[in-house]
Structure 1
Amino acid sequence: MSDQPDKETKTEEPTEKKIRDAIEKGNTPTSKEASVLATFLAILLIGSFATVTGARRLVSGLSGLIDDAGGFTLGNGADALLLTHALALEAGRFLAPIVATLAVAGLAAAWFQNAPRIVGHRIKPDPSRLSLLKGWQRLFGIQGAVEFGKALLKFGAISLIALLLLRANEAGLVNAMFSDPSALPETILHLAMRLLSGICIATIVLVAFDLVWARVHWRQNLRMTRQEIKDEHKQTEGDPLVKARQRSLARDRARNRMMAAVPKATLVIANPTHFAVALRYDRDETAAPIVVAKGQDLIALKIRQIAEDNDIPVIENRELARSLYASTEIDRMIPPQFYRMVAEVICYVYSRKMEKVV
C-alpha cells in the first residue's frame, strides 16, 4: 500500500503554511491558456503595426542585392562572410521586434498569474517524473480530461470563427483572384488580422474559465488530512505535551527563585492561610517596597514558613494581602494606591523592632 494519503481522506482546506510552502517550491496555479492568449495578442500586435513596416524596411535593405546582384564580389570566403553578415543584419532588424514582442507577451502572461521567483527545486532531477504510471494518470485522469476538453473547445471555436469569417468575405476573396496581384498580400493580411481578432475574443472566455479552474484544482491538490494538520501544528507550535511540560518547568524554576528571595524580604503580609505577599523595602535602593514573592494556599503557607524560619515579621491583614496579591507582580514595586497602607504596616514593624531593641 502507498504511504501517501488518498485524495478521499484529504477533506480539509490547506493551511496558510501549506500554501506558502507550495508557492516557495514553485507549485503555483498556472493557466496555459493565458500564455496562448498572450501569444495571439502579440501576433495581432505584430501583424497590425510591425509586419508591414518591417517588411518594407527589409525589402528596402535588400533592394540593393536584388537590383544589382552582380555588384557583390564573391571571390573568396571573406566576401561570402560579409554578404552573410549583411543579410543577417537585415533579417535581424526585421525579426528583433517580433521576437521581443513575443517574449514580452510570454513573460507578462506568467507575471500576471504569479509573482516571478527563482525556484531551484523545480529544475532538480526527479525520477518520479519518468514514471509511466504517473504519466498515464496525468493523460487519462481528471486533469487530462480537462485539457482534452479545452483543446476540443479551442478547435471548435477556431473552426467556427474561420468558417463564419470566410463566408462573410467570400465575395472579396473571389474578387481578389481577378484584382492586382500587388494588393493580394494586404488582403490576406487584413483577413488574417480579422481571423486572429476573433480567435483572441474566443480565447479570452476560455482563459477566464481556465484561470478559475487552475486555482480551484490547485487548492484541491493542496488539501490536507486532519492528521497532516495536526502534524503541521506540532511542527509550528510545538507538541502540546512538550509545551505543557516546558511551562510546568518554567513555573517550577520561577517558584524556586521566588522562594529563594523570601529570606531577603522585610515583611510578609498574609491572609492567614490563603494569601501571602513578601515585601522588601530599603529606602536606599528603591522609592517603594518591592514584591519579592507572593502565593496562594500551599505556596502562601510555604512563604510564611520560610519567613518565620528567617525571623521575618508576618503581618496578618486580610484585605491588604488579598488586594496586593491581585494587583502586584513579582520583582515590581507596589502600585501607588497601596503606599499609605503598606507604609503604616512597615512603620508598625519598625516600631516593634525598636521596642525589642530597647
Structure 2
Amino acid sequence: RSFKLLFLHIKSLFKLNACIQKKGLMETISKWREFNQRLKYVQSVILTTHLNPDGDAIGSELAMAYHLRQLGKSVSILNPSPMPESLRFLDENHEITTFVKTIHTGDVNRGDLVIFLDVGDFDRAGYVGLAARESGKAVISIDHHPQISHEKYLLAIEDTHASSTGYMIYDYLKAFYPSHLNPPMATALYVAVMTDTGNFKFSNTRAEDHHMAGDLIVYGIDPYKMYCRIYEQFSPARMRLLGHVLQDLRFESDGRLVWFVIYQKMMGKYGVTHDDLDGFSDFMRSIAGVEVSVMFKEMEDGSCRVNLRSKGRVVIHKVAQHFGGGGHPFAAGANLKKGIEEAIPAILSDVKRAIEGTP
C-alpha cells in the first residue's frame, strides 16, 4: 500500500511539473507577442548584455540585431566591456561597440528602447544599464537566468528551462519569423548555444539544443571548424598559467571540493588577460571525485571575483546569491567588494555547507 501511495505521489508530481511547464510556455509565448507589439512603436533600439560577455551574450546580440534590422529598425550594440578575442570573428562588420560614458550616453538617450540580452541582473549591464536608468528609457529583458528585479523592466521575457538566451531567440524566430534566419544569424545563434552548453556537454544541454544545432548547420556551419575557433585558440600564456595553477590546487570536503586562487601578480607574471581564464573552473570540475570547483580571482581594484561550478548534484547558485551574485544552479558567480583573503573563507564556508547537505 505504501509503495502504491508513493507511486501515485510521484505520478502527481510529474503531472504538476508538466502543468507548470505548459503554463510557463504559454506565458512566454504571450510575452513574445507583447514584444512584437511594442516593437511596432519604436524605431531606434539599443542592445546590450552583461559585463565580460560570453558566446551566448555576443551571439544573442548579433542575432537580435540582424532580426530587428529586417524589421526596419535602427540598431546599436553598446556593451559595458569588450568582447573576448575568441569571439571577434562573429562581428565581421564591427557592429559591437564598447560603451564609453562620455561618448555613448547620448546614444542611449536618443534610443527609443533598450533591450538587455542574457544580463541576469540589472547591475551587470554596467554603465549601459546606468545610462538607461538615468535617461528613463524603457528596458526589455530577454534572459534564461532567473530574474530578481522584474520591476526594473517594461517587459521581462524569461525562460529558466532554456540552455541559453540564444536558444530563446532561436525559438522566438522559428515561431514568429522563420524566414528571417540566415547564415550570419545562424552562426551567431550556434555559437550562443554551443558555448553556454560547453559544446553540448553541460548538464543544461537538452534534446532541443541538438535539434537547434542540426537546424542551424544547414546554413553552412562546420561544427568542427566552429569548435576549433572557440575552444582551440588558447594562448601559450594561458597554458603556462594553467600549469602553475594545477600545481597549487586545494582539495577539501574529502575531495569533493577543489579551489584555487589567481592573483594579479600571477596574471602579470604570465602576461594573461581575464579572457585567458575562461574555462578554468570547468576544467578543474573534471577531476575525479570533485563535485564543486571554485576559482577566486583577484581584480585590479583589489576586490574578488568568484566562479563556482558544480558537476550537477550540488546546487551552488544560492552561494553566489548570498554574496550578491547569481547564475544557474550548477554554474554561478559573484563579485565581492572584500579582498581575496577575506573572501576565501566566507565563500568556502557556504560551499562546504552546500556539499554537506548533498548526499
Could you state the TM-score of these two structures normalised by the residue count of structure 1?
A: 0.19
* Structure number having the greater strand percentage: 2
Identify the structure with bigger relative contact order (alpha carbons < 8 Å, sequence gap 6+). Answer: 1
Larger Rg over CA atoms: 1
* Structure number having the greater helix percentage: 1
